[in-house]
A and B are shown apart, each in its own frame.
Chain A
């Protein structure tokens, strides 16, 4: 492929025309061919023409590779010889990996709850403002949603930056505050005491996800019928009682949806850790360990075992999702 940006754009345009046009043509041709069959067979087969390509795509790009990954996790670094459960045994005897699991736990304990709390707070407070200030406040909180994890890491890297030389002025906000209070400059992302460096990374994720929580919770709060709130007010309930006893129970299903969605996202967290620390100083998480095992140590077996652990962690959430969906359909 060429360096020339013009050729690249042409390339992209060709892909759009061929890809989208080609796919459309494929559907048209298949539909036409099936249409030639007698009526009964036409009706029986046509649904598979519509659904087939999507199923084919998820089979090739998700299901088949997932199964292969499970198989690779029982093989050695180059996926040549079987090693049984050795990769898993090695992982769980590795102190660093156990630390990684602990970090993942820390992330999933703090980020979903933290985002929901901030999101709920903003949703409730903004609801009491006039229309314009409400929109501005929400946009400010929501804006990080549009920023990539790498972009967010840059933004926060700047907050956490520290300069150590005598007489240097601080350029990072956090260090500027701490040194002006008389503390010595420290490298924030290396402090392992109380998992402080993990927590500083986690803050970034809450900063990114709170807006998402706010949007969904805000629309749920606006959906709470006024008369239920009014009735409680007439009964003499305080605003705080109304919130916890009238509003929260009614928006609870949304709270759960937000919580689960962020949980799924957090289980796979990668970019922030990879960019900010590379997993050093005890900050690694599963997805980062996977990447390091695969591309730095070249061990496809251990890397596969790491993602299988991740997949197992996701299974309860998956079952929950499917159940929820069935319930929703039954209604």
Chain B
């Protein structure tokens, strides 16, 4: 579906940062993100007109992961978070349609993180049986993605690589994750 710009209705733009996943049914909401090697997944359920976007930095923690290394920057967590948020908004997995963007290898000298991220996203969605209707992955250029969650409309443009956020986890907050509450 082409991306309609409707100047009559002001848009509430929400930037999706590394490590975030957001879902909305707001007709005037637009999610935006800028990607280098990171990958953004856009999910849309056309029947109830709800959509969501995540933005992950790395696919999966290495197998010899140390305590605390598994955090909100990993796709394995952000994919699940996005799908669960969609389900919580009434979406059905069988109706969800996905778009994948990003996964560029901006610096040829580094490990091909972008390629790994793209492969992870594709295989995750395949194992979840969620259809990918459009993808723009790989290459050497940064991308800017604008997504209208309530309409499932996406616009993806190439941008200056310097605009992409550094592919580096921001310092984890002192508040620790994975706290256990025994009943």
Partners in one complex: no
Chain A residues at the B interface, C-beta cutoff of 8 Å: none
Chain B residues at the A interface, C-beta cutoff of 8 Å: none
